[in-house]
Structure 1
Amino acid sequence: MTQYLLAVHGDVDEVAADTRTMEELQPLFEATARFNDKLQAEGAYVFAGGLQTIDQATTVDNTGAAPIVTDGPFVESKEYLGGFWVIEAPDLDAALAWAKEASRACQETVEVRPFQEEPEA
């Protein structure tokens, strides 16, 4: 089976202006937990994680003469990576079906991308 990344994208402006309470967020957390349980029960779950907000990011660029370490994400963007799942699915259609459920659960956009296959030795 192929592994796929289901990347959760959030809107930077919405995060900055987010005034939702924990009580309002709890249904999203519960829906996401149910989705995780379903992935595990059906054998598609590999790994998942939520990420801290973008103000907690640090970028490292060691492509030049000396490493450069800077606070925050490397690119300016309206979206940020808020979390992800790594799943196993037989094909892209199955991965897209999981992504539709993931997007509904977390109420965010979900990008689907297959991992590169390992080159044969």
Structure 2
Amino acid sequence: MRYLYLLYLEEGGWDAMTPEQQAEGEGAYMAYTEALQTAGILIGANRLQPSPSATTVRLTGGKSQVLDGPYADTKEQLGGYYLVELPDLDQALAWAARCPTVGHGVVEVRPVWPPRTG
């Protein structure tokens, strides 16, 4: 089963860190990504640009409406993701608990619908 780890963190927290803290953070994410790759469960991962770069599209009164910025206005913003494949939710949660984001944000674990066949 595939699971998407949605990484939510306080935007601007990275810029508030010292260069040493940033280097330590980069190392932690690189090690975590390498562990997922070594285990053969990583499908994809990436960081997202800051939320002000987002554009939101919604349908209002039958017409599409394009808005600058993210849909949610919250303290924590979606900053990246990992897409993994694991046998069950217990294993997905165990791997999510190892993600460096849990030390300064939240990791939402969301099952991905399997592709439709036929």
**What range describes the TM-score normalised by the shorter chain of this pair?**
0.7 to 0.9
Structure 2 residue matching 1:38: 3-state secondary structure: helix
Does structure 1 retain, via aligned residues, the 8 Å contact 2:14–2:22? no
Q: Taking every aligned residue pair, what percent have the same amino acid on both sides?
A: 36
Distance 2:13 2:25 in 1: 18
Structure 1 gaps of 5+ residues are none
Q: Aligned runs of 1:1-121 on 2, under 5 Å? A: 2-12=1-11, 15=12, 18-62=15-59, 64-103=61-100, 107-121=104-118
Contact 1:59 1:74 in 2 (8 A): yes
Give the TM-score normalised by structure 2. 0.85
Contact 2:29 2:100 in 1 (8 A): no
Instruction: Give the unaligned 5+ runs of structure 2.
Output: none
Q: Distance in 2 between matches of 1:76 and 1:66?
A: 23
| TM-score scaled by length of structure 1 | 0.84
RMSD across aligned positions (CA): 2.3
Task: Report the number of matched residues.
Answer: 118
Deviates more, 1:53-62 or 1:103-112: 103-112
